[in-house]
A and B are shown apart, each in its own frame.
Chain A
Amino acid sequence: MKKHRIKTSNLTVGYHNNNEELKILSAINFELKNNGLYALIGKNGTGKSTLLRTLCGLQTALSGTIVIDDKTATSYNALALAKKISYVSTERIPASNLSVFELVALGRQPYSNWFGKYKKEDISIINTALEQTNTLHLSNHKIQTLSDGQLQKVMLARALAQDTPIIILDEPTTHLDMENSVAILLLLKTLSQHKIILLSTHKINEIIPLATVLLLVKNNTLISGKLSDLGIQNALKTLFLDEILNFDTKTQLFYVKNNKLRPQK
């Protein structure tokens, strides 16, 4: 089986603002070369989504390079990239009459002919994606009628239908209830045996035991490593304000300091 990878060298992401560069994250160096679940964590507004969008080619990097498999990301055209990376963002999609099935089927666009006709094989891939995300029963529903949580699962199904070696997900469990959230994370864990899955999330306690490697956004850069790494342990300890959240190295969980959220005796 062919090995895939996504690698950044000295990457800087951010925006252009009136010819001025607004750097959000700099000196980003990591390589995801083995299949697995990679969790991108960090505080609000630190540039996680910007980084993910840049990796997907939806935004140009300010400097540095991204290599996907054996070529730089910029040397791929949109279609070739769509066969390597699928992506789910937190962005709302416009209201339309698309059914859930049609929406998930759009994931097969990179493989269908010029008219967008789906083969038998495509249909079965679409149905598998619907089954995996537990949304098969919604097939004929219009996407306009779905709840935020249902839509999130359906958008994930669309990414699965795209059947790419790399999947990038921006907060894929935000709108999900506890049960669905765990179910989706377990599904992603299973799928990550055969894919590189990079996701950002704020549900840190849930993702820590599942993630193969953690990527932490801190001080405008990124550090990555296994949970057992000393550097990662230290970074986790100082990720949030000490006054509010503490990381417990024994249980590997974050706790609210002094149980402040519990009623005081």
Chain B
Amino acid sequence: MPKQAIKHKSYFLALLLLVFVGFIMNISLGSEHITFKQLLAVITNNKLADQTWRYIILNYRIPKAITAILAGAGLSISGLLMQTLFRNPLAGPYVLGISSGASLGVALLVLGASFFGFQSTVSNSFSIIIAASLGSFLVLLAVVLIAHKMQNTMAILIVGLMFGSLTSAIVSILAYFSSAEQLQQFIFWSFGSIGNLSWQELGLLSLFISISFGLVLVNIKNLNSLLLGENYAQSLGVNIKKTRIIIILATSLLAGSITAFVGPIAFVGLAVPHISRLLFKRSSHQIISVASLLIGAIVMLFADTVAQLPTSEYTLPINAVTTLFGAPLVVFLLVKYKKISI
């Protein structure tokens, strides 16, 4: 099918171009507009570059744009993994309760401080990252342990949902006993923010994401077999138990690390795999995973650009922007193509 191959190639090129455009746009638009010329001067280390701009671009805007790419790509891949594992188009990165675990961690730190009677100064973003990581890691551990015992994959889905409900119940109780100030801090975290990462934190995030992508890559064949259901996958030579654990591990690493560093980001992980499938009209993971990765990066770059409300001092919560634009888009695509699949 050479004709189809050419079509796919041109789509991929167009998506790559959009990532690049989104990246430049994301860097240059913000509370202050930076022209492409100034940007180029900073990047090429030109001496004429303004030192203030230089500082903003190198320590704030570029890390933020890279965070957007990593978060968008990572969440989309983890959503794709969950949809394939559970063969359910409604699955997303958070179905295993990972983000609930993270939010429980943050809630315990921010809201639980007075509850448990210790004084904390949690203005420090790093302690929030650690709390969120610990929370999602504990949920991950529980899910993997249970997944190992369960024969039935669908049961894991329900266990994940139960974890989610359980943690939000605990968060509600904590919230009930918290001060307005603490509550505000927690809610701000749950809005999601991709702008606060240092280069070191970014390095750590990319490490986690690279490990997960590696796991996905070596399992790409097994993912395709899973499209036929677990029995057929096994009869095609897939070690179901092992593959299931690896997929859960990769998803948790992605969703867990991203949630820890930037907060819960809704919609992207669920919707981007669908956008990819509707665009390419394929299900093979060799194609859909690359497409999801690129489209996820584009969606986050553009969503963040909008969230910055260019030329204004205000920033919208990124979590709200992704949903605000994404949900109608998915509805439109569904109405147009009239079908949903994995």
Contacts and interface: CB of A to CB of B under 8 A. Distances in A.
B234 A57 contact: yes
* Chain A interface residue bracket vs B: 35 or more
Contacts of A114: 218, 221
Interface stretch (A105-113, A210-218, A237-245): A105-113
A95 B284 CA distance: 13
A114 B218 CA distance: 7
A93 B220 contact: no
A143 B281 CA distance: 12
Given A98-B284, A109-B224, A144 B339 contact: yes
A158 to B, nearest CB: 8
Nearest to A16: B151
Interface in B123-152: none
Interface in A124-171: 140, 142, 144, 162
Most buried by B among A93, A97, A110: A97
A84 B218 CA distance: 24
A87 B232 CA distance: 8
B229 interface: yes
Interface string A84-100: 01110101011111100
A87 B284 contact: no
B1 A95 contact: no
Given A97-B281, A106-B224, A114-B221, A86 B339 contact: no
B237 A79 contact: yes
A114 B236 CA distance: 14
A106 B239 contact: no
A175 interface: no
Interface string B217-228: 010110011011
Nearest to B86: A94
A78 interface: yes
B224 A85 contact: no
Contacts of A162: 236
Judged by DSSP, the binding face of B is: loop
A91 B282 CA distance: 22
Contact of B234 (A78, A91, A107): A78
Interface residues of B, number: 28
B179 interface: no
Given A94-B87, A116-B224, A109 B232 contact: no
B228 A106 contact: yes
B324 to A, nearest CB: 28
A96 B342 contact: yes
A144 B286 CA distance: 20
B235 A97 contact: no
Most buried by B among A78, A80, A93: A78
Given A106-B236, A109-B237, A112-B221, 11 more contacts: A57-B235, A77-B239, A79-B237, A82-B237, A91-B231, A93-B228, A93-B232, A109-B221, A109-B224, A110-B237, A114-B218
Interface of B: 1, 87, 218, 220-221, 224-225, 227-229, 231-232, 234-240, 277, 281-284, 286, 339, 341-342
22 contacts: A53-B231, A57-B234, A57-B235, A78-B234, A81-B235, A82-B237, A85-B235, A89-B231, A91-B232, A93-B227, A94-B87, A94-B227, A96-B227, A96-B283, A98-B283, A98-B284, A107-B236, A109-B224, A112-B221, A116-B221, A142-B281, A144-B339
